[in-house]
Protein backbone atom coordinates (compact mmCIF):
# COMPACT_ATOMS: atom_id res chain seq x y z
CA UNK A 1 0.00 0.00 0.00
CA UNK A 2 0.99 3.61 -0.32
CA UNK A 3 1.30 4.07 3.41
CA UNK A 4 4.28 1.77 3.45
CA UNK A 5 6.77 4.61 3.29
CA UNK A 6 10.30 3.76 2.51
CA UNK A 7 12.86 5.63 4.55
CA UNK A 8 16.09 5.03 2.79
CA UNK A 9 18.74 7.27 4.16
CA UNK A 10 17.11 9.32 6.94
CA UNK A 11 19.89 9.66 9.51
CA UNK A 12 19.01 7.53 12.53
CA UNK A 13 19.89 10.20 15.07
CA UNK A 14 17.60 12.74 13.42
CA UNK A 15 14.85 10.19 13.02
CA UNK A 16 15.22 9.21 16.67
CA UNK A 17 15.19 12.80 17.82
CA UNK A 18 12.26 14.01 15.77
CA UNK A 19 10.16 10.99 15.13
CA UNK A 20 10.24 7.29 15.40
CA UNK A 21 12.18 5.59 12.66
CA UNK A 22 9.90 4.97 9.73
CA UNK A 23 7.54 7.76 10.57
CA UNK A 24 7.29 11.42 9.75
CA UNK A 25 7.70 14.19 12.28
CA UNK A 26 4.93 16.76 12.34
CA UNK A 27 6.56 20.07 11.62
CA UNK A 28 4.21 22.97 11.22
CA UNK A 29 1.06 22.89 9.23
CA UNK A 30 -2.14 21.03 9.76
CA UNK A 31 -2.24 17.54 11.15
CA UNK A 32 -2.73 14.75 8.66
CA UNK A 33 -5.66 13.55 10.68
CA UNK A 34 -7.83 16.60 9.88
CA UNK A 35 -11.06 15.80 8.05
CA UNK A 36 -9.87 13.97 4.93
CA UNK A 37 -12.88 14.99 2.87
CA UNK A 38 -12.81 18.69 3.83
CA UNK A 39 -13.24 20.70 0.65
CA UNK A 40 -14.50 17.79 -1.42
CA UNK A 41 -18.07 19.16 -1.87
CA UNK A 42 -16.61 22.45 -3.15
CA UNK A 43 -14.39 20.54 -5.55
CA UNK A 44 -17.39 18.54 -6.79
CA UNK A 45 -19.22 21.81 -7.41
CA UNK A 46 -16.25 23.10 -9.45
CA UNK A 47 -16.06 19.91 -11.50
CA UNK A 48 -19.80 19.88 -12.12
CA UNK A 49 -19.73 23.52 -13.23
CA UNK A 50 -17.05 22.95 -15.87
CA UNK A 51 -17.96 24.39 -19.24
CA UNK A 52 -16.54 23.80 -22.73
CA UNK A 53 -13.56 26.10 -22.11
CA UNK A 54 -12.70 24.24 -18.93
CA UNK A 55 -12.78 21.01 -20.89
CA UNK A 56 -10.08 22.39 -23.16
CA UNK A 57 -7.94 22.45 -20.03
CA UNK A 58 -8.35 18.68 -19.80
CA UNK A 59 -6.71 18.00 -23.14
CA UNK A 60 -3.63 15.82 -23.02
CA UNK A 61 -0.21 17.32 -23.67
CA UNK A 62 0.05 15.48 -27.00
CA UNK A 63 -3.21 17.00 -28.17
CA UNK A 64 -2.03 20.44 -27.02
CA UNK A 65 1.15 20.08 -29.06
CA UNK A 66 -0.88 19.00 -32.07
CA UNK A 67 -3.19 22.00 -31.65
CA UNK A 68 -0.28 24.41 -31.18
CA UNK A 69 1.27 23.04 -34.39
CA UNK A 70 -2.07 23.40 -36.13
CA UNK A 71 -2.34 26.98 -34.88
CA UNK A 72 1.02 27.83 -36.44
CA UNK A 73 0.30 25.97 -39.66
CA UNK A 74 -3.22 27.40 -39.86
CA UNK A 75 -2.09 31.01 -39.54
CA UNK A 76 0.80 30.51 -41.97
CA UNK A 77 -1.56 28.84 -44.42
CA UNK A 78 -3.99 31.76 -44.20
CA UNK A 79 -1.12 34.14 -44.99
CA UNK A 80 0.20 31.98 -47.82
CA UNK A 81 -3.23 31.62 -49.39
CA UNK A 82 -4.55 35.13 -48.88
CA UNK A 83 -1.63 37.49 -48.65
CA UNK A 84 1.72 35.80 -49.26
CA UNK A 85 4.88 37.79 -49.86
CA UNK A 86 5.28 38.93 -53.42
CA UNK A 87 8.89 37.74 -53.64
CA UNK A 88 8.24 34.19 -52.48
CA UNK A 89 9.20 32.72 -55.84
CA UNK A 90 12.60 34.42 -55.92
CA UNK A 91 13.50 34.27 -52.21
CA UNK A 92 16.64 32.11 -51.87
CA UNK A 93 15.56 28.71 -50.56
CA UNK A 94 18.68 28.11 -48.46
CA UNK A 95 18.26 31.47 -46.79
CA UNK A 96 14.59 30.76 -46.14
CA UNK A 97 15.51 27.44 -44.50
CA UNK A 98 18.04 29.24 -42.29
CA UNK A 99 15.54 31.98 -41.39
CA UNK A 100 12.88 29.46 -40.40
CA UNK A 101 15.37 27.38 -38.42
CA UNK A 102 16.38 30.44 -36.45
CA UNK A 103 12.72 31.25 -35.74
CA UNK A 104 11.24 27.81 -35.21
CA UNK A 105 13.97 26.61 -32.80
CA UNK A 106 13.16 29.28 -30.19
CA UNK A 107 9.45 28.80 -30.88
CA UNK A 108 9.78 25.11 -30.01
CA UNK A 109 11.63 26.02 -26.81
CA UNK A 110 8.90 28.49 -25.83
CA UNK A 111 6.17 25.94 -26.56
CA UNK A 112 8.02 23.29 -24.60
CA UNK A 113 7.88 25.46 -21.49
CA UNK A 114 4.36 26.81 -21.91
CA UNK A 115 2.77 23.45 -22.80
CA UNK A 116 4.61 21.54 -20.10
CA UNK A 117 2.07 19.81 -17.86
CA UNK A 118 1.89 20.75 -14.18
CA UNK A 119 2.44 17.11 -13.33
CA UNK A 120 6.06 17.43 -14.47
CA UNK A 121 8.73 19.15 -12.43
CA UNK A 122 8.78 22.90 -12.97
CA UNK A 123 11.18 24.30 -15.52
CA UNK A 124 13.89 26.30 -13.76
CA UNK A 125 13.62 30.05 -14.16
CA UNK A 126 16.98 30.01 -15.94
CA UNK A 127 15.52 27.82 -18.67
CA UNK A 128 12.61 30.20 -19.11
CA UNK A 129 15.06 33.04 -19.60
CA UNK A 130 17.08 30.89 -22.00
CA UNK A 131 13.93 30.21 -24.02
CA UNK A 132 13.17 33.92 -24.29
CA UNK A 133 16.83 34.79 -24.90
CA UNK A 134 17.01 32.20 -27.69
CA UNK A 135 14.08 33.92 -29.39
CA UNK A 136 15.64 37.35 -28.99
CA UNK A 137 18.98 36.08 -30.31
CA UNK A 138 17.21 34.31 -33.17
CA UNK A 139 15.37 37.47 -34.18
CA UNK A 140 18.61 39.45 -33.76
CA UNK A 141 20.51 37.01 -35.99
CA UNK A 142 17.81 37.28 -38.59
CA UNK A 143 18.07 41.06 -38.57
CA UNK A 144 21.86 41.01 -38.66
CA UNK A 145 22.13 38.67 -41.65
CA UNK A 146 22.96 40.28 -44.98
CA UNK A 147 19.97 41.42 -47.05
CA UNK A 148 18.40 38.22 -48.36
CA UNK A 149 17.98 39.46 -51.89
CA UNK A 150 17.00 42.44 -54.01
CA UNK A 151 15.51 40.51 -56.88
CA UNK A 152 11.96 41.79 -56.54
CA UNK A 153 10.78 45.42 -56.65
CA UNK A 154 8.50 44.89 -53.64
CA UNK A 155 11.51 43.89 -51.57
CA UNK A 156 13.09 47.30 -52.05
CA UNK A 157 10.18 49.28 -50.63
CA UNK A 158 9.75 50.47 -47.05
CA UNK A 159 12.60 52.94 -46.98
CA UNK A 160 12.65 56.72 -47.18
CA UNK A 161 9.22 58.33 -47.21
CA UNK A 162 7.34 55.05 -46.96
CA UNK A 163 9.39 53.80 -44.00
CA UNK A 164 6.90 54.56 -41.22
CA UNK A 165 3.86 53.65 -43.29
CA UNK A 166 5.21 50.24 -44.29
CA UNK A 167 6.75 49.49 -40.89
CA UNK A 168 3.47 50.44 -39.19
CA UNK A 169 1.52 48.25 -41.60
CA UNK A 170 3.72 45.25 -40.91
CA UNK A 171 3.64 45.91 -37.17
CA UNK A 172 -0.17 45.92 -37.22
CA UNK A 173 -0.31 42.80 -39.39
CA UNK A 174 2.11 40.87 -37.19
CA UNK A 175 0.42 42.11 -34.04
CA UNK A 176 -3.02 40.94 -35.17
CA UNK A 177 -1.66 37.47 -35.92
CA UNK A 178 0.25 37.45 -32.62
CA UNK A 179 -2.97 38.44 -30.84
CA UNK A 180 -4.83 35.54 -32.49
CA UNK A 181 -2.01 33.21 -31.49
CA UNK A 182 -2.12 34.61 -27.94
CA UNK A 183 -5.78 33.61 -27.66
CA UNK A 184 -4.83 30.13 -28.88
CA UNK A 185 -1.92 29.90 -26.46
CA UNK A 186 -4.18 31.08 -23.65
CA UNK A 187 -6.33 28.04 -24.24
CA UNK A 188 -3.44 25.63 -24.72
CA UNK A 189 -0.80 26.68 -22.22
CA UNK A 190 -0.65 25.13 -18.79
CA UNK A 191 -0.84 28.07 -16.43
CA UNK A 192 -2.59 26.31 -13.59
CA UNK A 193 -5.15 29.03 -13.03
CA UNK A 194 -8.70 29.52 -14.23
CA UNK A 195 -7.70 32.67 -16.04
CA UNK A 196 -7.36 32.16 -19.74
CA UNK A 197 -4.12 34.03 -19.93
CA UNK A 198 -0.96 32.38 -21.15
CA UNK A 199 2.24 32.82 -19.21
CA UNK A 200 5.10 34.92 -20.52
CA UNK A 201 6.50 32.02 -22.56
CA UNK A 202 3.07 31.39 -24.08
CA UNK A 203 2.87 35.03 -25.16
CA UNK A 204 6.45 34.87 -26.40
CA UNK A 205 5.52 31.80 -28.47
CA UNK A 206 2.48 33.68 -29.79
CA UNK A 207 4.70 36.63 -30.68
CA UNK A 208 7.02 34.33 -32.60
CA UNK A 209 4.04 32.79 -34.39
CA UNK A 210 2.98 36.34 -35.35
CA UNK A 211 6.54 36.97 -36.53
CA UNK A 212 6.56 33.81 -38.66
CA UNK A 213 3.18 34.77 -40.16
CA UNK A 214 4.58 38.17 -41.00
CA UNK A 215 7.66 36.54 -42.51
CA UNK A 216 5.47 34.86 -45.11
CA UNK A 217 3.58 38.10 -45.78
CA UNK A 218 6.06 40.93 -46.13
CA UNK A 219 8.51 40.97 -49.04
CA UNK A 220 10.65 43.84 -47.72
CA UNK A 221 14.20 42.74 -46.96
CA UNK A 222 15.66 46.01 -45.71
CA UNK A 223 17.07 45.59 -42.15
CA UNK A 224 15.65 48.89 -40.83
CA UNK A 225 12.16 47.87 -41.88
CA UNK A 226 12.62 44.43 -40.34
CA UNK A 227 13.74 45.96 -37.03
CA UNK A 228 10.95 48.53 -36.87
CA UNK A 229 8.03 46.58 -38.32
CA UNK A 230 8.81 42.94 -37.58
CA UNK A 231 11.07 42.51 -34.56
CA UNK A 232 8.81 44.59 -32.30
CA UNK A 233 5.70 42.43 -32.74
CA UNK A 234 5.83 40.44 -29.49
CA UNK A 235 6.58 43.39 -27.23
CA UNK A 236 3.11 45.03 -26.99
CA UNK A 237 1.44 41.67 -26.39
CA UNK A 238 3.88 40.98 -23.56
CA UNK A 239 3.30 44.46 -22.13
CA UNK A 240 -0.49 44.10 -22.22
CA UNK A 241 -0.31 40.66 -20.64
CA UNK A 242 1.96 41.97 -17.90
CA UNK A 243 -0.44 44.84 -17.17
CA UNK A 244 -3.51 42.57 -17.16
CA UNK A 245 -1.85 40.03 -14.90
CA UNK A 246 -0.73 42.73 -12.48
CA UNK A 247 -4.25 44.07 -12.34
CA UNK A 248 -5.76 40.63 -11.75
CA UNK A 249 -3.18 39.67 -9.14
CA UNK A 250 -3.41 43.04 -7.42
CA UNK B 1 -11.93 -4.68 -2.85
CA UNK B 2 -12.68 -1.39 -1.03
CA UNK B 3 -11.25 1.92 -2.15
CA UNK B 4 -9.03 1.84 0.95
CA UNK B 5 -7.35 -1.30 -0.35
CA UNK B 6 -6.94 -0.18 -3.94
CA UNK B 7 -3.64 1.36 -4.95
CA UNK B 8 -3.42 4.97 -6.13
CA UNK B 9 -2.82 3.82 -9.66
CA UNK B 10 -5.84 1.51 -9.67
CA UNK B 11 -7.99 4.34 -8.33
CA UNK B 12 -6.63 6.73 -10.97
CA UNK B 13 -7.33 4.21 -13.71
CA UNK B 14 -10.88 3.83 -12.37
CA UNK B 15 -11.31 7.60 -12.31
CA UNK B 16 -10.07 7.92 -15.87
CA UNK B 17 -12.71 5.37 -16.76
CA UNK B 18 -15.35 7.64 -15.21
CA UNK B 19 -15.58 6.44 -11.60
CA UNK B 20 -16.09 9.60 -9.51
CA UNK B 21 -15.90 7.59 -6.28
CA UNK B 22 -12.31 6.70 -7.15
CA UNK B 23 -11.49 10.41 -7.36
CA UNK B 24 -13.12 10.97 -3.97
CA UNK B 25 -11.05 8.14 -2.52
CA UNK B 26 -7.86 9.71 -3.87
CA UNK B 27 -8.91 13.06 -2.42
CA UNK B 28 -9.57 11.55 0.99
CA UNK B 29 -6.23 9.76 0.86
CA UNK B 30 -4.08 12.67 -0.20
CA UNK B 31 -5.82 15.95 0.64
CA UNK B 32 -4.82 15.81 4.34
CA UNK B 33 -1.19 15.10 3.43
CA UNK B 34 -1.12 17.85 0.86
CA UNK B 35 -2.68 20.25 3.35
CA UNK B 36 0.16 19.44 5.70
CA UNK B 37 2.80 19.75 2.99
CA UNK B 38 1.52 23.07 1.72
CA UNK B 39 0.96 24.54 5.16
CA UNK B 40 4.66 24.10 5.82
CA UNK B 41 5.20 26.64 3.09
CA UNK B 42 2.11 28.83 3.37
CA UNK B 43 0.77 30.33 6.57
CA UNK B 44 -2.72 31.19 5.38
CA UNK B 45 -5.13 28.35 5.99
CA UNK B 46 -7.58 29.49 3.30
CA UNK B 47 -4.84 29.67 0.70
CA UNK B 48 -3.68 26.17 1.62
CA UNK B 49 -7.22 24.83 1.25
CA UNK B 50 -7.53 26.59 -2.10
CA UNK B 51 -4.26 25.14 -3.36
CA UNK B 52 -5.25 21.62 -2.31
CA UNK B 53 -8.49 22.09 -4.20
CA UNK B 54 -6.58 23.42 -7.21
CA UNK B 55 -4.23 20.44 -7.03
CA UNK B 56 -7.11 18.02 -7.42
CA UNK B 57 -8.73 20.19 -10.06
CA UNK B 58 -5.47 20.01 -12.00
CA UNK B 59 -5.26 16.27 -11.35
CA UNK B 60 -8.68 16.01 -12.93
CA UNK B 61 -7.60 18.14 -15.88
CA UNK B 62 -4.35 16.27 -16.36
CA UNK B 63 -5.91 12.83 -16.16
CA UNK B 64 -5.47 12.31 -19.91
CA UNK B 65 -1.71 12.62 -19.43
CA UNK B 66 -1.50 9.93 -16.77
CA UNK B 67 0.14 6.90 -18.32
CA UNK B 68 -0.30 3.32 -17.30
CA UNK B 69 2.63 2.18 -15.19
CA UNK B 70 3.34 5.65 -13.80
CA UNK B 71 3.19 6.31 -10.07
CA UNK B 72 0.48 8.71 -8.97
CA UNK B 73 1.99 10.00 -5.75
CA UNK B 74 4.98 11.89 -7.24
CA UNK B 75 2.66 13.12 -9.95
CA UNK B 76 0.28 14.61 -7.39
CA UNK B 77 3.05 16.17 -5.30
CA UNK B 78 4.56 17.70 -8.43
CA UNK B 79 1.25 19.37 -9.26
CA UNK B 80 0.85 20.64 -5.70
CA UNK B 81 4.38 22.05 -5.50
CA UNK B 82 4.12 23.64 -8.94
CA UNK B 83 0.91 25.34 -7.87
CA UNK B 84 2.63 26.50 -4.68
CA UNK B 85 5.43 28.01 -6.80
CA UNK B 86 2.89 29.78 -8.96
CA UNK B 87 1.20 31.03 -5.78
CA UNK B 88 4.44 32.57 -4.54
CA UNK B 89 5.19 34.01 -7.95
CA UNK B 90 1.75 35.63 -8.07
CA UNK B 91 2.11 36.98 -4.57
CA UNK B 92 5.68 38.04 -5.20
CA UNK B 93 6.75 36.28 -2.04
CA UNK B 94 9.10 33.57 -0.90
CA UNK B 95 7.87 30.43 0.83
CA UNK B 96 6.90 31.10 4.41
CA UNK B 97 8.00 29.02 7.34
CA UNK B 98 4.72 27.51 8.44
CA UNK B 99 3.24 27.60 11.94
CA UNK B 100 1.44 30.86 11.14
CA UNK B 101 -2.29 30.32 11.49
CA UNK B 102 -2.00 26.81 12.81
CA UNK B 103 -3.50 26.36 16.23
CA UNK B 104 -0.99 25.33 18.91
CA UNK B 105 -3.04 22.26 19.72
CA UNK B 106 -2.76 21.13 16.12
CA UNK B 107 0.99 21.46 16.03
CA UNK B 108 1.97 19.04 18.64
CA UNK B 109 1.05 16.09 20.65
CA UNK B 110 -1.39 16.91 23.42
CA UNK B 111 0.10 17.32 26.84
CA UNK B 112 3.65 17.88 25.68
CA UNK B 113 4.46 21.48 26.50
CA UNK B 114 7.90 21.31 24.90
CA UNK B 115 6.72 20.01 21.60
CA UNK B 116 5.80 23.34 19.96
CA UNK B 117 9.23 24.71 20.85
CA UNK B 118 10.95 21.68 19.39
CA UNK B 119 8.81 21.89 16.30
CA UNK B 120 9.74 25.51 15.89
CA UNK B 121 13.41 24.71 16.26
CA UNK B 122 13.28 22.03 13.60
CA UNK B 123 11.19 24.31 11.46
CA UNK B 124 13.71 27.12 11.72
CA UNK B 125 16.54 24.76 10.93
CA UNK B 126 14.69 23.64 7.83
CA UNK B 127 14.01 27.22 6.80
CA UNK B 128 17.73 27.94 7.00
CA UNK B 129 18.52 25.24 4.45
CA UNK B 130 18.93 26.10 0.78
CA UNK B 131 15.57 25.69 -0.96
CA UNK B 132 16.69 22.70 -3.03
CA UNK B 133 17.88 20.77 0.04
CA UNK B 134 14.84 21.76 2.08
CA UNK B 135 12.45 20.58 -0.60
CA UNK B 136 14.19 17.23 -0.91
CA UNK B 137 14.24 16.66 2.85
CA UNK B 138 10.59 17.61 3.25
CA UNK B 139 9.55 15.22 0.51
CA UNK B 140 11.83 12.43 1.66
CA UNK B 141 11.51 12.61 5.41
CA UNK B 142 8.21 14.29 6.13
CA UNK B 143 6.22 13.03 3.16
CA UNK B 144 7.94 9.66 3.11
CA UNK B 145 8.66 9.61 -0.60
CA UNK B 146 11.51 7.35 -1.70
CA UNK B 147 14.41 9.09 -3.45
CA UNK B 148 13.22 7.85 -6.82
CA UNK B 149 9.89 9.64 -6.41
CA UNK B 150 11.53 12.73 -4.89
CA UNK B 151 13.73 12.89 -7.99
CA UNK B 152 10.64 12.82 -10.16
CA UNK B 153 8.95 15.60 -8.18
CA UNK B 154 11.92 17.97 -8.18
CA UNK B 155 13.02 17.12 -11.73
CA UNK B 156 16.54 15.96 -10.87
CA UNK B 157 18.39 12.67 -11.05
CA UNK B 158 18.10 10.26 -8.16
CA UNK B 159 21.80 10.61 -7.38
CA UNK B 160 21.55 14.41 -7.34
CA UNK B 161 18.62 14.17 -4.95
CA UNK B 162 20.58 11.85 -2.65
CA UNK B 163 23.46 14.30 -2.58
CA UNK B 164 21.10 17.17 -1.71
CA UNK B 165 19.46 15.09 1.01
CA UNK B 166 22.80 14.04 2.46
CA UNK B 167 24.03 17.64 2.62
CA UNK B 168 20.74 18.85 4.09
CA UNK B 169 20.65 16.12 6.73
CA UNK B 170 24.23 16.92 7.67
CA UNK B 171 23.32 20.55 8.24
CA UNK B 172 20.25 19.62 10.24
CA UNK B 173 22.24 17.21 12.35
CA UNK B 174 24.92 19.82 13.03
CA UNK B 175 22.31 22.30 14.15
CA UNK B 176 19.76 20.15 15.91
CA UNK B 177 21.16 17.03 17.41
CA UNK B 178 22.20 18.43 20.76
CA UNK B 179 21.23 16.99 24.15
CA UNK B 180 18.28 19.31 24.79
CA UNK B 181 16.60 18.66 21.49
CA UNK B 182 17.29 14.96 21.55
CA UNK B 183 15.81 14.75 25.05
CA UNK B 184 12.63 16.51 23.97
CA UNK B 185 12.42 14.40 20.84
CA UNK B 186 12.90 11.20 22.76
CA UNK B 187 9.84 12.05 24.83
CA UNK B 188 7.61 11.58 21.87
CA UNK B 189 7.99 14.52 19.54
CA UNK B 190 7.22 13.59 16.01
CA UNK B 191 5.07 10.58 16.52
CA UNK B 192 3.42 9.88 13.26
CA UNK B 193 0.02 11.31 12.54
CA UNK B 194 -0.64 8.90 9.72
Over residues B93-106, the pLDDT tens digits come to 666 555 444 444 44
Which position has the higher pLDDT, A5 or B180? B180
Burial class (CB in 10 A: 0-12, 13-18, 19+), B152: buried
Contact call for residues B152 and B73 (beta carbons, < 8 A): no
Please give the average per-residue pLDDT across A188-198, as a whole number.
67
Which position has the higher pLDDT, A154 or A194? A154
Q: Is B167 on the interface with A (CB under 8 A)?
A: no
The third-level CATH classification (topology) of the domain covering B109-194 is: Arc Repressor Mutant, subunit A (1.10.10)
Contacts 24+ apart (CB under 8 A), B161-165: B161/B136, B162/A9, B164/B132, B164/B133, B164/B136, B165/A9, B165/B133, B165/B136, B165/B137, B165/B140
What is the rounded CA–CA span in Å between residue A212 and residue B126?
Answer: 48
Predicted confidence (pLDDT) per residue in B161-182, tens digit: 999 999 998 888 888 775 454 4
The third-level CATH classification (topology) of the domain covering B1-102 is: Rna Polymerase Sigma Factor; Chain: A (1.10.1740)
Contact call for residues B80 and B37 (beta carbons, < 8 A): yes
Neighbouring C-alpha atoms within 13 Å toward the C-beta of A40: 17
Q: What ipTM, to 2 d.p.?
A: 0.74
Sign of CA pseudo-dihedral A15, A18, A24, A28: negative
Q: Between chains, do A8 and B146 touch, taking CB under 8 Å as contact?
A: yes
A19, A27, A191, A197: best mutation site toward chain B, by most B Cβ within 10 Å? A27
- Nearest residue on chain A to B174, judged by CA atoms? A14
Q: Is B33 on the interface with A (CB under 8 A)?
A: yes
Contact call for residues A21 and B188 (beta carbons, < 8 A): no
Interface of B with A in 54-113 (CB under 8 A): 54, 56-66, 73, 75, 78-79, 81-83, 85-86, 90-91, 97-99, 102, 106-108
On the question of pLDDT at A196 being above 80, the answer is: no
Predicted confidence (pLDDT) per residue in A88-138, tens digit: 999 999 999 999 999 999 999 999 988 988 888 888 888 888 888 888 888
Structural domain boundaries of chain B?
Answer: 1-102, 109-194
Cα distances (Å, whole numbers) of residue A212 to A99, A236, B47: 10, 17, 41
Amino acid sequence: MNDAFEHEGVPADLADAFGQAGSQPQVGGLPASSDPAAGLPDLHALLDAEGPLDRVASLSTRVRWALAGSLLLGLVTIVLVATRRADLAVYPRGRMALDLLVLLGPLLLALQVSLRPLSRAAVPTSRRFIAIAAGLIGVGILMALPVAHSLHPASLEGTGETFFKRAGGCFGFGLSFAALATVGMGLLSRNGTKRWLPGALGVWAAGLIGFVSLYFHCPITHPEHLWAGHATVALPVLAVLWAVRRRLDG
Amino acid sequence: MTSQERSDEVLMAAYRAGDRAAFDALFSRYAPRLRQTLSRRINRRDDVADLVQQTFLQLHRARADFREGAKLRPWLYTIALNLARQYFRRKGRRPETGLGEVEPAERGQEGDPERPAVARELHEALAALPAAQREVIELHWFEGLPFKEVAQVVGASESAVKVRAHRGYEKLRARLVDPAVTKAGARGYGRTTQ
